[in-house]
A and B are shown apart, each in its own frame.
Chain A
Amino acid sequence: MARTKQKRLIIRTSILVVLVAAIVYTIYTSATKEKIEVLGIGDEAPNFKLVDLDGEEHRLSDYKGQGVFLNFWGTWCKPCAKEMPAMDRQYEVFKDQGVQTLAVNIAQSDFEVQRFTDQYGLDFPVVIDKTKSVMEAYNINPLPTTMLINSEGKIEKIITGEMTEQDIASFMELIKPE
């Protein structure tokens, strides 16, 4: 008698616990769904191939062994414009320390991108993602977004929003190869 009572208690408890856990999990995930990133820290940064304004190809894999400061931007995005000069200066500082900078423009015309780089005197390579495929691969939503990729090709950090020059310097420092 006590044994069947015991068995019943176990069965009932387990059923209830499983059900409640499943429901809580579902509600929690659906509440936080928008904030879950498809690509997260520690993931391997997807390789890609894009062409810059001089017609040269850039692959992420070209920079293997170095840190990559990957910035996604557009000319209409004011914070992007604001941080570009700082980015340029820090690029100069770190490019011989093993940190490369690559700016990916989201599907704008060659004209606009060229004018922009001329206006700000940008020296780092700027490529245009005409079909937005790299943007999709990296699941970029707001601009500016910067991906910090370390020398092993993994994502170290994801930054959305404007960066100060100090921020940029410290981020580049972060992905300096050992």
Chain B
Amino acid sequence: MNKIICACGHENPEGTVLCGNCGRPLTEEAENLKLVDMRYEGSARRSQTYNKSIVDKIWNFFSSVRVGVWLIVIILVAAAIGTILPQVLYVPATVEADIAAYYERVYGTFGKIYYELGLSDLYGSWWFQTLIGMLGISLIVASLDRVIPLYKSLKKQRTRRHESFMKRQRLFAIGENKLGEETLTRSEQKLTELGYHVKREDGAVLGERGRFSRWGPYINHLGLIIFLFGVMLRALPGFYVDETMWIREGETRAIPETPGFYLESKEFILETYDKDQADDVFDEAIDRVGTIASNYQTDVVLYKKPEDALPGQTDKLEEVKKDSIQVNEPLKFDGFAVYQMDFRLDELRTMHFDLSNKASGESLGELSIDLVEPETHYDLGNGAEVELLRYYPDFSGFEDGEPQTKSPVPNNPAFLVKMTTPETPEGETSFVAIKQTVEPFGENEFKLEFKNVDTRDVSGLTIRKDKTLWILALGGLIFMIGVAQGSYWNHRRIWIHETKDGRLAVAAHTNKNWLNVKKDLDAVTEAASLPPYDDQQDLEALEEKKDGEKSS
């Protein structure tokens, strides 16, 4: 690697634009520029100095801001495509085949193509995750590549810079030294007053302020890196639990993936805004929308099984606490959180029937069938009894003459019963379902007549454990610190020195917010009678000045 030796004698690494010692432009390009690029103090970005091997080439690829911006834009566009149609997570189907059918049915050919291309599960796809991974690498490599040289440059920057450096700064003045010896002292004083850190040596003064803000971008990148790291950790077992459970009022169930914890649902409550009770202010809205939910919650009791107990043993459960799980108020225990997510109202619980004579309509008695734990015999007294032969909680039709049930959930209960009455001592068999009665052995005299039903509600809860949350929070916090540090403060420097021919040269630079540094420079100019400066980038102002000079 070749070093570039500056006229001042300093050795600079290859690729340096401005001499690290005196600031002279080292390349022809830099010399031809009216205003010099101050981004990395003219120091060489590491990747510019080494690009021999394949590793270096890959490194340089990820270090490039252009590549970084392209990655951001591609991710941005990809993410937008994922919002055109709902993602699989929000589709009411769980099996692959159902999902595919849903997209085609509801969204037509476009939906079918969308699904086939994998766009319906875009954010979980390997290529999207790869893009994010590449952005992560870019963050790390690009930051390392820049922050190290920048730190070194700023640390060893000299007070006195070469004139060619000064005149290539955006704010520059050269002119008469009105106060002679006093100038630098007065400048020093004023700069210190304005909060600058002042160094004076060799007939030159450097006032610097807010250098810490330069580290802002690198700190916010660090925050992002930590955040992405936290996201990656979820892939490791044990860090992340995401389960759902449906629990009915009165049920006690083991909580999925939580060792030894059980939940009993005492009650599910749904409250809506009642026009009479709610504030009058809400009347119009309630009229327009109809029912507005005001609260849904599940009142639960959390149990833990004792140390020596085994799964399945539910007699010795210890109560841990009672809680009401509401939206925004999850039940928290042992690193887990249980959220109120969903609910189903009015699942059938107990069905009440009358055993009645079909001809006369006379009832011989009532029976209530508990759909959770049905009995085998129901004695109605006065010699009548009903024997429950078979129970089908979710009747789905007949197959080879046999009634079928498609799930254990009492969505469509059906019963095969044998009714015995004093008038029919041999018993009559009947198949009773909702809105359907089948009498397989010929016409019966009696039937079960449906009276009414008790229902209960079901709560849909989500169980979550996320050990990565604190890492994500830390990443977010560091990001905010870095971005505030970089955005709300700026790095300002003012150089003043006596030229060899007895004049005064003044230059100033800031990485952002030129208005402020101009105000400071105005103050120092006034205090030390410095020559007036020009903003060499504001062509319009320069034009005006020229016009002004011409006419005067």
Contacts and interface: CB of A to CB of B under 8 A. Distances in A.
Interface of A: 1, 5, 8-9, 12-13, 15-16, 19-20, 22-23, 25-27, 29-31, 33, 36, 38, 46-50, 59, 74-76, 106-112, 114-115, 127, 129-137
B346 interface: no
Given A131-B252, A131-B254, 20 more contacts: A1-B1, A12-B56, A13-B55, A16-B58, A19-B137, A23-B133, A27-B126, A36-B237, A38-B257, A48-B312, A49-B309, A49-B310, A107-B408, A109-B373, A110-B373, A111-B375, A114-B376, A129-B312, A132-B254, A134-B312
Nearest to A47: B310
A114 B389 CA distance: 11
Nearest to B257: A136
Nearest to B373: A109
B503 interface: no
Contacts of B405: 75-76
A5 B391 contact: no
A114 B140 CA distance: 64
Interface of B: 1, 50, 53, 55-56, 58-59, 124, 126, 129-130, 133, 136-137, 140-141, 144, 232, 234-237, 252-257, 262, 309-314, 372-376, 388-391, 393-394, 405-408
Given A9-B55, A13-B55, A26 B129 contact: yes
A76 B408 contact: yes
Contacts of A115: 389-391
Contacts of A131: 252-254, 262, 312, 314
Contacts of B312: 48-50, 127, 129, 131, 133-134
Contact of B55 (A12, A27, A109): A12
Nearest to A135: B254
B144 to A, nearest CB: 8
Q: Which of A50, A108, A136 has the most CB of B within 10 A?
A: A136
B407 A19 contact: no
B393 A76 contact: yes
B88 to A, nearest CB: 13
Nearest to A36: B237
Contacts of B130: 23, 27
18 contacts: A12-B55, A16-B55, A16-B141, A20-B137, A29-B236, A30-B234, A33-B235, A49-B309, A50-B312, A75-B405, A106-B408, A110-B373, A112-B391, A131-B252, A131-B314, A133-B314, A136-B256, A136-B311
Given A15-B141, A75-B408, A109-B374, A137 B126 contact: no
Contacts of A137: 254, 311
Contact of A26 (B141, B232, B390): B232
A25 B235 contact: yes
Contacts of A108: 408
Contact of A48 (B237, B252, B310): B310
B250 to A, nearest CB: 12
A76 B1 contact: no
B95 to A, nearest CB: 11
